Chain A
Amino acid sequence: MIYWDYAAAAPPYEEVVRTVEQLMQLHYANPSSLHRAGADAAALIRRAREVCASALGVRTEEITFTSGATESNNLAIKGAALQYSGRGRHIVTTELEHPSVYESCLQLREMGWEVDFVKPKPDGGIDPWDIAAAVRKDTVLVSVMHVNNETGSVQPQRDIARAVKEANPRTLFHVDGVQGFGKLPGGPRDFGADLYSLSPHKIRGPRGVGLLYVREGVRLFPLISGGSHENGMRAGTENLPAIVAGAKAVRLASERQRELAGRLLPLRDRLLSFLRGIPELVVNSTEAGAPHIVHFSYPGMKGEVLARQLEQLGMLVSTRSACSSRTAEPSRVLLAMGRDEAAALGGIRISLGDGHTESDVAALETAIVKAVLALKIAEGGMR
C-alpha cells in the first residue's frame, strides 16, 4: 500500500510520536497549577510558543494554540466578527474555502451578516481586484486561503492583502495557511495577514492541536470561555503533548520547506504531464499550484469508484478533500472553477509527502492506467 493522502493527514515524524509519548508520561501536570510540576508544564508551553513564533517570524504573544485548524478558522472568523461587529456586518471570502471557513461564514449569514463569496478564475486563482471590489466600508473581515486543499491552487496573498487594506484599512485579513505552510515559502507577515491558521497534523505533527496567529492589536471574541488560557482567547486545559510536538513539527516544516518543495515539484510535474496524456481524465491542478497536490477528474465516473479501484491496486488516494469526501455532492470548489457537474463529481486528489520517490510515482501511474482501463471496460459493458 502506498499512502497518497498527505494533504488530509501526514504520517507523524517518529520524533513527534516520541515527544508526545514522553510528555504524556513526564508532564501530565496541569500548566495552570501552582506547583513545580505545573510550572514546568507551563514553561514547556511557553517554549513551544516561542518555537512556533520564530518559525513563523512573528512575536511570541501573537501565537494562540487551539484544538486544530478548524477551531483556528472558526475563532478567526467568528471571533473577529463578534469582536468588531461595531465596524459593520459584512464579510468577504471565496468559493474555494475549506468548510471550516465556508460554514463559519454561512453561520454568520444566518445571524444576519452579509457574506460575499468571491468566485475563482477557471484555473482556481482569485483575482485581487475581485476581492478589492467586494470590500466595503463595513467589511470587518476578508478570509482567503493560501493553498486550496482540493486542487492545490495558490492565491497571491500579498496582492490580496494590499488590495484589502487599500479598499478599507480597518478590514482584517485572515489567511488559512493550512495547506501552504511547509510547502511554499511565506508566513503571516509576508502575506500581510492579521490572522493566520495552521495545523500541525498536515506537516507530520500530531493532531488535536492547531495554531492561530493573531497580530498584535487584534482582539478576538473568545468562542470557548472558562478560563484565562491563551490570553483569554481560548479557555481549556492546554493539550501539552500535542502543543510541544506540534511546535516541533512547525519548526521542522519551516526548516525543511525549500528542500521538500524541491523534492516534490519534479514528482508532481511528472504526474501532471502523465495524467494529461490520458484522454479520459481532466487535470484540475496546474504547474502554478502547490508542490504537493495533484487533482484530476474522470468525468462521468464517480470519484469514489475510481478511488476504490486504485485502492485495489495498492494506492490510497482521496476523493477531493477528506473533509467533504463523505458527501455525494459535486465538489463546490470545482463547480466554482467552472467545471461541469460530471467533472465535479469525479475528482481524485493525490497529495504527496516526503516519503514518496520516483518509483512510487511510477507505481501510481501504472495503477491509474490499470484502473482507468478497468473502469472503461466495465463502463462499456454496462452500456
Chain B
Amino acid sequence: MRQTDSAKGLKGGTEYADMLLLRFGEFTLKGKNRSRFEKTMLRQVKERVRLYPGAKLITEYGRIYVELGGEPAEPLIATLAKVFGIASISPVKVARSELEDIVTNSLRFMEAIAPAPGTTFKVNARRVWKDFPYGSQEMNRLVSGPLLKAFPALTVDVREPELELRVEVRENGTYLFCDNIQAAGGFPLGTNGKAMLLLSGGIDSPVAAWSSMRRGLEVECIHFFSYPYTSREARQKVVDLARVLSGYSGRIRLHLVPFTEIQTSFAGIGQDNLMITLMRRSMLRIATMLAEREGALAIVTGDSLGQVASQTLSSMNVIGRATDLPILRPLVMMDKGEITELAQTIGTYELSILPYEDCCTLFVPRSPTTNPNLRIVERIEATLPGYAQRLDEAVAQTVTVDLTPHGNERPADEEEAAVQQEEWF
C-alpha cells in the first residue's frame, strides 16, 4: 500500500472517498486495557467528527469507519490524523457487493489515482462475507483483469507492488482502498496518566509536549512569564502554542505563572553565572506544587542534552534535584534538526520562531555555568530571604486557562483590556 504522510501527498486527491477507515496503533497489543484505550480514542474521534454533521461513525473490532455522507475527506483526514492512537487512515470507495459494481468502481478509483506509466501493481482481495460467490484468489483475477486492460501503463508485481488495491468484500458493501495515510499513532491521550510540562515559547518544549501526549500522557502546560520585562505578545504566543497542542488533545490546560519577583530576586545576589540554575530549580519547585494540586505524577521538559548551559549533564543533575517527581525529557537524545523537523510537522514551529523575549532569554548572564555545584546552589537558596514564600505566592497568583483548538479562551487577567473596548463592538 502507498504510504503517505498527509492527505495532501495523495495523487488524485481524496475526491473519490465515500468513507474513511481508521486503524489503531500499537495499543492494540495491550490485552486487558484495550477496551479502555479504544473508548478514550473513540471519544476523541467523535468530538472531531461532530463538526461534520453529514459524517457518521461505525465502530468495529480493531477499526473505526467514518462514512463521509458528502463531507469533504481532506479536512477530516487532517484532523483525525492528529488523534493519538490512530495509526493510519485510508480513504475508501464503497461499491455494492456485486462483481460488476466492484469492477466498475475499481476502474473509477484507478482513474482518480491516475497511476504513472510503469507503476507496479496488484489487487489484494479479501472475502469477509463468505456468501459472496467468488473466492479471494478468484477476485484478484476478476478485478485486476479489467484494470490491466483499461490501464496499459500498469505492470503486475505481486511481491512488492508500488500500488496495491485492497478489495474487502463485506455483506453490506465492498471497500476499495489503496492509500495508507500515516496518523499520529501512539497511545490514546490520558491513558498513561498526567504530567506537568514546562512550556517556554521556544521550539523544543511544544515538541516535548506532543511527544509525551503521543505516549498517552495527559499534559498540563506551565508557562513562566516576567511581565513587564517580557511582553504580552510573548504570553499570547504561549497561549497560541498551547492551542495548537490542543488540536491533538481536544483541550489543554495552561498555567501562567508570574515569575518576575522570583527572577528579580535572583538578579540581586551577585551570582550571575548561577542565575539560570537557580531559575530552573525554582521553576521545578513551582511545577511540583502545581503537579500536586492537579494530580500529576511527573514533570516533562524540552531539555536536549548539551543544547545550552542548563542542559549539560551536570546542570541537569543539580537542577533535577529540586523535585522529587520524575522528570521526563522526551527530546533528551535528539538533535536540533530532528526537533525542528518535528516542530514543523506538528505545526508549532512558525509560532515558536516569533521573536519575543521570554523569561529564559531575559537577564541571561554572559557566562552561565555548565557545571554548577549543588552544595553552593542549595546554600544560596537557603539564604535567600522569603524564597519559599515567594514560590507559594507565585503558585497562588497563577492564572489557569483551559484551551480548545477553536475556542476563544483567554487568561482571566486579560479580560480587563477587552472590557474597555467593549463599547466599540
- Chain A residues within 8 Å of B, Cβ to Cβ: 15, 19, 22-23, 34, 36, 39, 43-44, 46-48, 50-51, 59-61, 86-87, 165, 169-170, 216-218, 244-245, 247-248, 251
Chain B 234-257 near chain A by CB (<8 Å), digits 1 or 0: 001000000000000000000000
Cα distance, A165 to B54, chains bound together (Å): 10
- For residue A34, which residues in chain B have a CB less than 8 angstroms away from its CB? 233, 354-355
Do the beta carbons of A170 and B425 come within 8 Å of each other? no
Question: For the complex, is B321 an interface residue (Cβ under 8 Å from A)?
Answer: no
Query: What is the interface of chain A mostly: helix, strand, loop, or mixed?
Result: helix
Closest to A53 in B: B408
Find the A residue at minimum CB distance from B417.
A43
Report how far A19 CA is from B421 CA in the complex, Å. 10
Report yes or no: A217 in contact with B15, Cβ–Cβ below 8 A.
no
Provide the bound-state CA to CA distance between A43 and B354, in Å: 17
Which of B70-78, B127-135, B161-169, B261-269 lies at the interface with chain A? B70-78
Task: Specify which chain A residues have a CB less than 8 angstroms from the CB of B54 in the assembled complex.
Answer: 165, 169
Does B52 belong to the interface (CB within 8 Å)?
yes
A48 to B408, CA, bound (A): 12
Against A, the Cβ 8 Å flags (1 = close, 0 = not) of B102-117 are 0000000000000000
* Pair A44/B424 contact, Cβ less than 8 Å: yes
B323 at the interface (CB under 8 A from A): no
Q: Which of A22, A217, A218 contacts B76 (CB 8 A)?
A: A217
Q: Which residue of chain B has the shortest Cβ distance to A216 in the bound complex?
A: B51
- Contact status A39-B421, CB under 8 Å: no
Residue on B with the closest CB to A44? B421
Query: Is B418 in contact with A47, judged by CB distance below 8 angstroms?
Result: yes
The interface centre, meaning the residue of B52, B355, B425 with most chain A CB atoms within 10 A of its CB, is B425
Contacts of A86 in B (CB 8 A): 13, 15
Is B425 a contact of A217 with CB atoms below 8 Å? no
16 intermolecular pairs with C-beta atoms under 8 Å apart: A23-B424, A34-B354, A36-B231, A44-B421, A47-B421, A47-B425, A59-B406, A86-B13, A169-B69, A169-B70, A170-B70, A216-B75, A217-B75, A244-B424, A247-B425, A251-B425
Q: Please state if B72 and A218 are interface contacts (CB–CB under 8 Å).
A: yes
Main secondary structure of the interface of B (DSSP, over half): loop
- Is B232 part of the binding interface, using a Cβ–Cβ cutoff of 8 Å? yes
- For A247, the closest partner residue in chain B by CB is B425
Given A86-B13, A217-B75, also A36-B233 (CB < 8 A): yes
B71 to chain A, nearest CB (A): 7
Among B57-79, those with CB < 8 Å from A are 69-72, 74-76
Complex Cα gap A23–B421 (Å): 10
Partner of A244 from the list B69, B74, B406, B425 (CB cut-off 8 Å) is B425
Interface size for B (C-beta < 8 A) is 26
Contact in complex: A39, B232 (CB < 8 Å) = yes
Evaluate contact between A39 and B70: CB separation under 8 angstroms: no
Using Cβ atoms and an 8 Å threshold, which residues of chain B touch A39? Answer: 232-233, 236
State the CA gap A217–B13 with chains docked (Å): 15
Over the window 176-187 of chain B, the binary record of Cβ atoms lying under 8 Å from chain A Cβ atoms (1 yes, 0 no) is 000000000000
Find chain A residues with CB under 8 A from B354 CB.
34
Given contacts A87-B15, A244-B425, whether A50 and B408 have CB atoms under 8 Å apart is yes
Contact B406 A60 (CB under 8 A): yes
Q: Are A248 and B15 neighbours in the complex by a CB distance under 8 Å? A: no
Q: Please name all residues of chain A whose beta carbon is closer than 8 Å to the beta carbon of B76 when the two chains form the complex.
A: 217
Complex: A61 Cα to B51 Cα, angstroms: 13
List the B residue with the shortest CB-CB distance to A218: B72
Shortest CB distance B13–A (Å) = 7
Q: Which residues of A contact B236 (CB under 8 A)?
A: 39
Q: Report yes or no: B406 in contact with A51, Cβ–Cβ below 8 A.
A: no
Instruction: Please give 7 more A-B residue pairs, beta carbons under 8 A apart, in addition to A169-B70, A218-B72.
Output: A34-B354, A51-B425, A217-B72, A217-B75, A217-B76, A244-B424, A244-B425
Contact check, A217 vs B232: say whether CB atoms are below 8 A apart: no
Closest 4 A/B residue pairs (Cβ): A169-B70, A217-B75, A217-B72, A19-B424
B70 partner residues in chain A, CB cutoff 8 A: 165, 169-170
CB distance from A121 to the nearest CB of B (A): 28
Q: Chain B nearest CB: distance from A344 CB in Å?
A: 39
Report B382-425 residues with CB < 8 Å from chain A CB. Answer: 406, 408, 417-418, 421, 423-425
Q: A34-B355, A86-B13 are in contact. Are A248 and B424 (CB under 8 A)?
A: yes
Residues of A close to B72: CB separation below 8 A:
170, 217-218
A34 to B233, CA, bound (A): 8
Q: How far is the CB of B282 from chain A (nearest CB, A)?
A: 28
For residues 101 through 155 of chain B, which have their beta carbon under 8 Å from a beta carbon of chain A?
Answer: none
CA distance A272 to B417 in the complex (A): 50
Q: Are A36 and B232 in contact (CB under 8 A)?
A: yes
Which residue of chain A is the closest to B74 with respect to CB atoms?
A217
How far, in whole Å, are A359 and B368 apart by their CA atoms in the complex? 82
